[in-house]
Amino acid sequence: MDISIENLTKTYGAQKALDNLSFQVKTGEILGFLGPNGAGKTTTMKAITCYLSPNAGDVKVGGVSVLENPNEVKKNIGYLPEHNPLYLEMGIVDYLKFIGELQGVDKAHLMERVNHMIQICGLSLEKHKKIGELSKGYRQRVGLAQALIHDPEVLVLDEPTTGLDPNQIIEIRELIKQIGKEKTVILSSHILAEVEATCDRVLIINRGKIVADGTAEELRSKAKGNEVLKVGIAGAERNAAFEALKALPDVELVDFAGEGKNLYEVHSAPERSSCQSIFDLCAKNGWFLTQLTPIEKNLEDIFRELTKDN
Amino acid sequence: MKQILILTKKELKGYFDSLMAYILIVVFLGLSGFFTWLYGNGDVFFINRATMQPFFGIAYWTLFLFIPALTMKQIAEEIKTGTIELLLTKPVSDWQIVTAKFLATLSLIAITLALTLPYYITISNIGEIDHGAVITGYLGLLLMSAAYISLGIFASSLTSNQIVAFLLTLIIGIFFQILFGMLSMAFSGFSSDVFAYLDLQSHYSAITRGVIDSKDLIYFASLIFAGLAASELSLIKRNLH
């Protein structure tokens, strides 16, 4: 089920949370939604799930508009809101049954669905407890289970892995990936590694506007610029190696990296690679390389660059 | 309709799971029982007639004080914990949520009142009782409860603080309960008529006396509807800020 966001604008008083935002998500795509705090991630999600109605623009889920037929849209969406609100005084099974009923799961399949959710979200051992007695990680699983209970076509997850331990994070990511094979998933996060690990496509927004859109690789290559290498040289005097590196024609800038060790950060000249000349230099002087690693710009740098000052 | 039923069932179950329902029932039966049978001054034996009037008199005030305690958490807590977002992103409308919460609390009051039927059976065995007045008396209690429940839900939808919701319901409620009646006596002419019409007690006592007038029914119906509509508006206003 496709999602299409069309010229969405939402203002809170004088503040523009979303500014003419438009994008599409295709069926089977996992879209990672990135942005600094207050960029409009949550507001967009609330508009998709019909909790907030936009000042202008429209959201269409599978061709159905949220403005014209919100109930139809809501039926197709599984939503995990930010902070994962739950009825703490309810038991897990009761809660999932309640949400299942609301989502229109028919009576004959309700218990089956509830048990299935308990199983795939890893809640089997806890299922007789009240939600209030669960730890944060387990509550997050309950939140995910309620979002999935009616087998929705679209999954909207607002920071799904906050508060989980590393093992749980990996489990939940795997789960999302698996679900994302057939369904459309939008997930927001401020953990960049997570978006990289789970999502097919990354959307970075800042102040209600899209600032980058593409796969993690695309974004990275776009922001790559000049080659930066981390070079370790042994068998040479520290400053001699430094001077020799600096004298290479392909090298623009050399920096010491790490005190007391023969580690250097070498910035190559634009459009050039200095790998070979560094290797040759070492071979000629009888030094040997302990390290020659390209330093990749990670998503974090791209993110910072894009959302810094505009 | 189905959605309203699912939500009502959940809310009603919530009352019984949280002890709230049992506390209400025990204290209500205790208080109304004491003033109906044992208090002396004004109880059934003091009046020396087979009548439920002492019970309806005391229930009128007991319910007035209890209902805000039942409704205060209804929406306030959902706002505070964020579960309102959870509900509203399911195929449920604002109106359905408000109505379900109203029906759940009204059902709890109805269950509580049903438990006072032994009073009626006992009194009707002691002497000749006006059965019509008893039926309209219960109807009056239900209508009055419904009006305060809808007011309570409205107050609860305005804030995320339960105590504020409780006090607000009592403060607005006391106007309908007694102050409008007093004001109508203090004024004269048109304003006196307006206050007299707004006074809930006069409509209530008309019904408990056994007179069902469409004027009184319209009064209660409009109070209930106004409260629920205002609650819905207050939920929808999240889109305005």
The pLDDT score that the predictor gives to residue A299 is: 67
In the listed set A190, A207, A222, which residue is the last one of a domain according to the structure? Answer: A222
Q: What is the pLDDT of residues B79-101, one digit of tens each?
A: 999 999 999 999 999 999 999 99
Task: Give CA–CA dist B24/B204, Å, rounded.
Answer: 22
CB neighbours of residue A281 within 10 Å? 21
The closest alpha carbon to A7, from A44, A41, A38, belongs to A44
pLDDT category of residue B15 using cuts at 50, 70 and 90: very high
Task: Give CA–CA dist A185/A155, Å, rounded.
Answer: 5
The pLDDT score that the predictor gives to residue B9 is: 94
Look at residue A270 and give its three-state secondary structure.
coil
> What proportion of chain B, given as a percentage, has pLDDT over 70?
99
The closest alpha carbon to B101, from B113, B92, B90, B114, belongs to B92
Range of the domain at A244: 228-296
Q: Residues of A with CB below 8 A from B90's CB? A: 74, 99, 102-103
Task: Give CA–CA dist A103/B196, Å, rounded.
Answer: 47
In a mutational test of the B interface, the residue from A42, A43, A93, A102 whose CB has the highest number of chain B CBs within 10 Å is A102
> What proportion of chain B, given as a percentage, has pLDDT over 90?
59
Taking CB atoms within 8 Å and a gap of at least 24, the contacts of B234-240 are B234/B154, B234/B157, B234/B158, B235/B75, B235/B84, B235/B88, B235/B94, B235/B97, B235/B98, B235/B157, B236/B94, B238/A51, B238/A52, B239/A52, B239/A53
CATH of the domain at A291: 3.30.70.100
Look up residue A231 and give its two tokens.
Answer: 């070079």
Please indicate, yes or no, whether residues A34 and A183 belong to a single structural domain of this protein.
Answer: yes
Interface residue A89 vs chain B (CB under 8 A): yes
Pairing label, strands A56-61, A288-294? unpaired
Please indicate, yes or no, whether residues A200 and A149 belong to a single structural domain of this protein.
Answer: yes
Please indicate, yes or no, whether residues A106 and A138 belong to a single structural domain of this protein.
Answer: yes
Q: What is the pLDDT of residues B223-236, one digit of tens each?
A: 999 999 999 999 98
The pLDDT score that the predictor gives to residue B92 is: 92
Q: What is the pLDDT of residues B33-65, one digit of tens each?
A: 888 888 777 777 777 777 888 888 889 999 999
Domain membership of residue A218 (yes or no) is: yes
Task: Give CA–CA dist B156/B76, Å, rounded.
Answer: 5
Task: Give CA–CA dist A94/A118, Å, rounded.
Answer: 12
- Position B72 pLDDT exceeds 90: yes
Tell if the CB–CB gap between A83 and B82 is shorter than 8 Å. Answer: yes
Range of the domain at B88: 2-239
Tell if the CB–CB gap between B90 and A99 is shorter than 8 Å. Answer: yes
Mean of per-residue pLDDT scores for chain A: 85
The pLDDT score that the predictor gives to residue A309 is: 58
Domain membership of residue A138 (yes or no) is: yes
Pairing label, strands A56-61, A30-34? unpaired
Please indicate, yes or no, whether residues A234 and A185 belong to a single structural domain of this protein.
Answer: no
Q: Within chain A, which residues score under 70 in pLDDT?
A: 221-226, 259-260, 296-299, 309-310
Give the count of domains, chain B: 1
Contacts with B, A 97-136, CB within 8 Å: 98-99, 101-104
- Residue A30, strand partner residues: A185
CATH of the domain at A192: 3.40.50.300
In the listed set A158, A192, A222, which residue is the last one of a domain according to the structure? Answer: A222
* Residue A85, CA distances (Å) to A49, A238, A270, B72 in order: 15, 58, 51, 19
Angle (nearest 5°) at CA B51 between B45 and B55: 85
Domain membership of residue A132 (yes or no) is: yes
Task: Give CA–CA dist A300/A103, Å, rounded.
Answer: 38
Residue type, A3: I
The pLDDT score that the predictor gives to residue B22 is: 94
Of residues B209 and B26, the one with the higher pLDDT is B26
Q: How near does any CA of chain B get to the CA of A204, in Å? A: 25
- Position B187 pLDDT exceeds 80: yes
Interface residue A53 vs chain B (CB under 8 A): yes
Question: Is residue A8 within 8 Å of residue A59, measured between CB atoms?
Answer: yes
The pLDDT score that the predictor gives to residue B168 is: 95
Interface residue B237 vs chain A (CB under 8 A): no
Please indicate, yes or no, whether residues A175 and A235 belong to a single structural domain of this protein.
Answer: no
Please indicate, yes or no, whether residues A214 and A242 belong to a single structural domain of this protein.
Answer: no
Please indicate, yes or no, whether residues A68 and A20 belong to a single structural domain of this protein.
Answer: yes
Give the count of domains, chain A: 2
Please indicate, yes or no, whether residues A103 and A171 belong to a single structural domain of this protein.
Answer: yes
Q: Residues of A with CB below 8 A from B7's CB? A: 102
Tell if the CB–CB gap between A85 and B85 is shorter than 8 Å. Answer: yes
Question: Is residue B180 within 8 Å of residue B172, measured between CB atoms?
Answer: no
Interface residue A71 vs chain B (CB under 8 A): yes
* Residue A63, CA distances (Å) to A32, A59, A69 in order: 22, 9, 11
Task: Give CA–CA dist A96/A143, Å, rounded.
Answer: 9
Please indicate, yes or no, whether residues A158 and A259 belong to a single structural domain of this protein.
Answer: no
pLDDT category of residue B144 using cuts at 50, 70 and 90: very high
Interface residue B238 vs chain A (CB under 8 A): yes
CB contacts < 8 A, A to B, total 60
The pLDDT score that the predictor gives to residue A260 is: 66
Q: Where are the alpha helices (DSSP H) in chain B?
A: 2-17, 20-33, 44-47, 53-81, 83-88, 94-114, 117-126, 131-158, 162-174, 180-186, 189-198, 200-208, 214-236
Domain membership of residue A304 (yes or no) is: no
| Rounded mean pLDDT, B144-165 | 95
In the listed set A222, A255, A280, which residue is the last one of a domain according to the structure? Answer: A222
* Partner residue facing A85 (CB), from B18, B81, B239: B81
In a mutational test of the B interface, the residue from A51, A61, A80, A107 whose CB has the highest number of chain B CBs within 10 Å is A51
The closest alpha carbon to A299, from A208, A233, A216, A210, belongs to A216
Tell if the CB–CB gap between A89 and B17 is shorter than 8 Å. Answer: yes
Question: Is residue A188 within 8 Å of residue A158, measured between CB atoms?
Answer: yes
A16-51: b (≥16 Cβ within 10 Å) or e:
bbbbebebebeeebbbbbbbbeebbbbbbbbbbbbb
